[in-house]
């Protein structure tokens, strides 16, 4: 798929304008203590919003399927036209946080033009670009005033998240909805047809394919739905918000992203603190109702559907529908009455909150410690962890039937590399092994040969006895499975390596950075062992290495000024009802950005920028941009439109250049290179590859190719040196070719494929080479052997490839 770590995109301009016209009167909103349905209340036009959410949803996956350029072009054009038409409306809504967002996106855009790998930078930036165009469209067309402003946009965001949740749950259930959708999307991108939806026994991966990114989107959906539901009048629209809340909450729990869960919990507390006293009780009641309903729906789903999908499984979809119905009924029968009761009793609400937090902490402690026997069917496995000190151990086990066990140890380096040291494999009755002194964690995987029950298991050694926790009685099994190895989590430890390598790259250009896509292009040049990733998994470090201190200041300024706007708005008597939930969403996004790639995702970015747009609409008035200087705001608006238009023109040039290059010729490649600033190097390389062939006898072409080659030699790319070396090898320029091959190897010295490719090229191009070729090959082979000796785990290069290169080196 185009980008497995990134999936939702930009809503088309024409349906989006319909959403922005959704309005409500101030009197239509839920007032403190209002628990009686108001059938006369004006409601948002749900059908247009639903249609726009569906369009938003589909366009997201179209972006991930490689249509991002077309969507970005349409979005850019729509944003420019809209801002020009509605320039006074946009200028009137500009706040200091909005200015920081504009400058942050502008810095990203500029980085695509100064980075070495401009084509990678372009594709990374287009996700930001589409989200930014959505932000501008919201500012231009959002309708309403006072307390109703922005509710239509919030409705769009919660619906879009709920659709993603519904399709994801259906993907592990009946697959009626999800199969139709993914089948349609597979016509554009075949990989959509292979979505599994489940990491068996562990968690739901969603139709996005990445549970952590999905959890980020669902988390925003939960918070926005909470805000809309608790401030909506009783009746149809409140039930729609509660339905979205139920779907997003259930999907979020099934994905069980530990980082997202921690920051969503923090966001809930912030939400309660920011909410006004008279509404805090109703919010707390809604949170508790949602938690109870979600957990009740989670257990049957885990027990019946957390395995590889093998046919229609109705429980997950039925549980999701029942959860939505149950939440609505709870709200109608008890929730609103409880809210009315707690509204004037702030002290009681606070006491209830403290009691619930205490109960939650107690439950968590019990859940992690109340364990018992585990039952396994024939062929089933159970993986558990222990943290024994180094030394000799014997495994003891009480079970109703024989089992086999595989015992593995990991030290810190092995957790980073996702490798392990086998300690024992065989029958449990003979299980004795030695745990290395540097061991961080020991994993034991039990397998049943027949149906059996494990009553107890323990490691007994000179350093004591380490009892294993088999079945967690108060936790769904998938949560228990995820918690195994919590204190030696491979992904968490490996991400610290990503962070360190990101900081190494940041040091190369600390002021303006290396440009978007720089980590993907350059991390192999600083890594201490081979790993593969596209992102740092920390957006703050990612921003530093891509756009330097300048970019980090702008991104941090966006978050901090947004937080200041929320706090200032909270102090006003006429504060927008969505202010607390937006503050909570800001906390969730800021925290989650520190541990995940969400701010590089096609799905997540428009959701996040939608929250920033809502913050501007609902709270931006507290930090207006030059409140008394309309000309300044108009100037910023015009400047934004002009810059947006210019970048749209550059993007159009990229598309036109690709059309030129689709008809191969020297003239088309040269024209494409002149027209496209982003993929210029690719067109120049194509020109050189053709010009250096024996079939070319045009002097002017040769001269231009040599100029192109000289420019390409200067690029710090991880792929161009290899292909340019091939051009020089075919042209008989041995010295230059081997210099570039060494640069290629130095750019990814820990990567086995790097050396395999280079050695294969050396062997393949030996025929007809000059007399210096064997000496160069011998020197390169010596370089390879030296690197292999110091690479953790060695370099996995086929011996036949090495032998072929060695034969060339021997002449």
pLDDT digits (tens, 9 = 90+) for 170-204: 999 999 999 888 888 888 878 777 888 888 878 99
Bridge partner residues of 398 (DSSP): 456
Calculate mean pLDDT across residues 139-148: 83
CA dihedral for 445, 451, 456, 462, sign (positive or negative): negative
**Confidence band (pLDDT; 50, 70, 90) for 711?**
very high
**Confidence band (pLDDT; 50, 70, 90) for 546?**
very high
Q: What is the pLDDT of residue 595?
A: 92
Calculate mean pLDDT across residues 662-689: 93
Q: What is the pLDDT of residue 361?
A: 87
**What token pair was written down for 661?**
């290059």
DSSP conformational letter for 63: I
- Name every residue whose Cβ is closer than 8 Å to that of residue 431 and which is 6 or more positions away in sequence: 394, 395, 405, 407, 424
Backbone angles phi, psi at 28, to 5 degrees: -80, -15
Q: What is the pLDDT of residue 4?
A: 37
Q: What is the pLDDT of residue 11?
A: 35
Least confident of 31-45, 103-117, 342-356: 31-45
What Rg, from alpha-carbon coordinates, does the chain have? 29
- Name every residue whose Cβ is closer than 8 Å to that of residue 570 and which is 6 or more positions away in sequence: 274, 579, 580, 583
Phi-psi region of 337 (alpha: psi -120 to 50; beta: other; left: phi over 0): alpha
Q: Taking the complete model, does pTM exceed 0.85, yes or no?
A: yes
Q: What is the pLDDT of residue 765?
A: 83
Residue 770 pLDDT greater than 50, yes or no:
yes
Q: Where are the alpha helices (DSSP H) in 197-345?
A: 211-230, 236-255, 258-274, 277-305, 315-330, 336-342
**Confidence band (pLDDT; 50, 70, 90) for 799?**
very high
> DSSP secondary structure string, 229-243?
HHTSPTTHHHHHHHH
Residue 62 pLDDT greater than 50, yes or no:
yes
**For 725-738, how does the pLDDT look when each residue is reduced to its tens digit (9 = 90+)?**
988 988 888 999 99
Residue 550 pLDDT greater than 90, yes or no:
yes
> DSSP secondary structure string, 304-330?
HHSS---S---HHHHHHHHHHHHHHHH
d(CA 672, CA 661): 6
Q: What is the pLDDT of residue 38?
A: 35
Residue in the block written with tokens 């149809």: 236
Stated as kind and residue range, the H or E segment containing 442 is strand 441-448
**Percent share of the chain, pLDDT over 90:** 59
d(CA 594, CA 537): 7
**For 26-50, how does the pLDDT look when each residue is reduced to its tens digit (9 = 90+)?**
434 444 333 333 333 334 446 777 7
Least confident of 9-18, 387-396, 442-451, 662-671: 9-18
**What token pair was written down for 581?**
């939930």
Q: What is the pLDDT of residue 5?
A: 39
Stated as kind and residue range, the H or E segment containing 467 is strand 464-467
Bridge partner residues of 472 (DSSP): 371
Calculate mean pLDDT across residues 567-585: 94
Nearest Cα neighbor of 694 from 647, 727, 649 is 727
Nearest Cα neighbor of 76 from 680, 638, 675, 650 is 650
Q: What is the pLDDT of residue 65?
A: 61
**Confidence band (pLDDT; 50, 70, 90) for 10?**
very low
Nearest Cα neighbor of 748 from 529, 533, 525 is 525
> DSSP secondary structure string, 376-440?
E-TT-EEEEEE-PPSEEEEEEEEESS-EEEEEEEE-HHHHHHT--EEEEEEEGGG-EEEE-TT--
- Name every residue whose Cβ is closer than 8 Å to that of residue 458 and which is 6 or more positions away in sequence: 395, 396, 397, 465, 466, 467, 468
**What token pair was written down for 295?**
């957990």
Cα angle for residues 280, 283, 286 (degrees, 5° grid): 150
If one counts every other C-beta atom within 10 angstroms of the C-beta of residue 427, the result is 12
Residue in the block written with tokens 């030699």: 713
Whole-angstrom distance between the N-terminal and C-terminal Cα of the chain?
44
Q: What is the pLDDT of residue 531?
A: 83
What b/e sequence results for 216-231 when a residue is b if at least 16 CB atoms lie within 10 Å of its CB, and e otherwise?
Answer: bbbbbbbbbbbbbbbb
d(CA 809, CA 778): 5
**What token pair was written down for 186?**
């597979």
Give 811 or 706, the one with higher predicted confidence: 706
Nearest Cα neighbor of 226 from 327, 145, 142 is 327
Q: Decide: helix, strand or coil at residue 695.
A: coil
Under 8 Å between Cβ of 420 and 409: yes
Q: What is the pLDDT of residue 40?
A: 31
**pLDDT averaged over the chain?**
88
**What token pair was written down for 506?**
């940041």
Residue 485 pLDDT greater than 80, yes or no:
no
DSSP conformational letter for 65: I
- Name every residue whose Cβ is closer than 8 Å to that of residue 444 and which is 6 or more positions away in sequence: 383, 384, 385, 386, 395, 405, 406, 407, 457, 468
Q: What is the pLDDT of residue 716?
A: 83
If one counts every other C-beta atom within 10 angstroms of the C-beta of residue 369, the result is 11
Rounded alpha-carbon distances, angstroms, from residue 442 to 412, 485, 793: 12, 9, 20
Q: What is the pLDDT of residue 405?
A: 94
Under 8 Å between Cβ of 297 and 160: no
Nearest Cα neighbor of 536 from 501, 588, 509 is 501
């Amino acid at each position: 798929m185009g980008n497995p770590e990134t999936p939702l995109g930009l809503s088309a301009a024409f349906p989006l304008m319909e959403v922005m016209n959704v309005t409500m009167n101030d009197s239509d909103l839920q007032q403190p203590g209002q628990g009686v349905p108001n059938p006369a209340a004006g409601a948002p036009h749900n059908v247009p919003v639903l249609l726009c959410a569906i369009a938003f949803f589909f366009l997201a996956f179209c972006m991930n399927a490689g249509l991002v350029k077309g969507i970005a072009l349409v979005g850019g054009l729509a944003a420019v036209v809209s801002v020009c038409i509605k320039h006074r409306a946009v200028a009137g809504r500009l706040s200091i946080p909005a200015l920081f967002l504009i400058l942050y996106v502008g810095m990203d855009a500029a980085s695509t033009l100064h980075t070495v790998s401009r084509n990678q930078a372009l594709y990374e930036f287009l996700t930001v670009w589409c989200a930014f165009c959505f932000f501008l469209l919201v500012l231009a067309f959002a309708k309403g005033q006072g307390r109703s402003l922005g509710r239509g946009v919030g409705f769009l965001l919660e619906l879009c998240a709920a659709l993603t949740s519904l399709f994801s749950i259906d993907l592990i259930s009946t697959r009626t909805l999800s199969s139709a959708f993914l089948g349609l999307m597979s016509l554009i991108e075949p990989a959509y047809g292979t979505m599994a939806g489940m990491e068996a026994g562990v968690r739901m991966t969603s139709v996005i394919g990445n549970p952590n990114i999905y959890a980020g989107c669902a988390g925003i959906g939960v918070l926005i739905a909470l805000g809309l539901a608790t401030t909506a009048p009783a009746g149809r629209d409140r039930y729609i918000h509660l339905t979205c809340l139920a779907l997003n909450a259930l999907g979020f729990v099934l994905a069980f992203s530990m980082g997202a869960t921690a920051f969503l919990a923090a966001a809930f507390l912030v939400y309660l603190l920011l909410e006004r006293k008279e509404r805090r009780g109703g919010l707390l009641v809604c949170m508790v109702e949602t938690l109870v309903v979600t957990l009740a729906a989670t257990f049957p789903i885990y027990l019946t559907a957390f395995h590889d999908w093998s046919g229609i499984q109705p429980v997950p979809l039925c549980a999701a529908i029942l959860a939505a119905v149950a939440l609505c009924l709870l709200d109608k029968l008890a929730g609103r009455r409880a809210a009315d009761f707690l509204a004037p009793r702030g002290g009681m609400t606070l006491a209830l909150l403290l009691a619930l937090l205490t109960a939650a902490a107690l439950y968590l402690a019990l859940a992690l410690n109340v364990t018992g026997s585990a039952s396994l069917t024939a062929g089933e496995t159970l993986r558990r962890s222990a943290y024994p000190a180094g030394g000799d151990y014997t495994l003891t086990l009480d079970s109703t039937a024989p089992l086999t066990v595989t015992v593995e140890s990991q030290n810190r380096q092995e957790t980073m590399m996702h490798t392990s040291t086998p300690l024992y494999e065989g029958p449990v009755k003979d299980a004795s092994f030695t745990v290395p002194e540097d061991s961080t964690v020991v994993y034991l995987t039990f397998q049943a040969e027949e149906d059996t029950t494990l009553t107890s298991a323990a490691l007994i050694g000179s350093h004591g006895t380490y009892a294993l926790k088999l079945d967690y009685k108060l936790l769904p099994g998938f949560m228990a499975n995820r918690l195994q190895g919590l204190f030696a989590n491979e992904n968490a430890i490996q991400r610290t390596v990503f962070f360190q390598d990101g900081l190494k790259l940041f040091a190369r250009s600390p002021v303006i950075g290396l440009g978007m896509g720089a980590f993907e292009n350059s991390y192999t040049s600083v890594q201490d062992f081979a790993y593969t990733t596209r992102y740092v998994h920390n957006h703050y470090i990612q921003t530093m290495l891509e756009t330097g201190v300048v970019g980090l200041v702008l991104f941090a300024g966006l978050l901090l000024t947004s937080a200041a706007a929320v706090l200032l708005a909270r102090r006003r008597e006429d504060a927008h009802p969505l202010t607390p939930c937006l503050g909570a969403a800001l906390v969730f996004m800021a925290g989650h950005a520190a541990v995940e790639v969400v701010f590089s995702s096609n799905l997540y970015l428009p959701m996040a920028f939608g929250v920033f747009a809502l913050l501007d609409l609902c709270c931006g008035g507290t930090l207006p941009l030059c409140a008394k200087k309309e000309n300044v705001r108009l100037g910023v608006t015009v400047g934004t439109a002009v810059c947006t238009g210019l970048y749209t023109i550059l993007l159009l040039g990229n598309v036109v250049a690709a059309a030129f290059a689709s008809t191969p010729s020297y003239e088309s490649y040269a024209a494409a290179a002149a027209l496209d600033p982003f993929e210029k190097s690719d067109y120049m390389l194509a020109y050189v590859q053709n010009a250096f062939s024996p079939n070319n006898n045009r002097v002017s072409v040769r001269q231009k190719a040599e100029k192109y080659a000289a420019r390409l030699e200067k690029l710090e790319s991880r792929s161009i040196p290899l292909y340019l070396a091939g051009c020089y090898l075919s042209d008989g320029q041995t010295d230059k070719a081997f210099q570039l091959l060494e640069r290629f190897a130095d750019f990814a010295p820990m990567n086995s494929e790097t050396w395999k490719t280079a050695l294969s090229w050396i062997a393949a191009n030996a025929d007809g080479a000059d007399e210096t070729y064997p000496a160069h090959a011998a020197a390169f082979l010596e370089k390879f052997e030296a690197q292999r000796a110091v690479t953790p785990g060695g370099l996995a290069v086929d011996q036949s490839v090495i032998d072929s290169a060695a034969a060339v080196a021997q002449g």
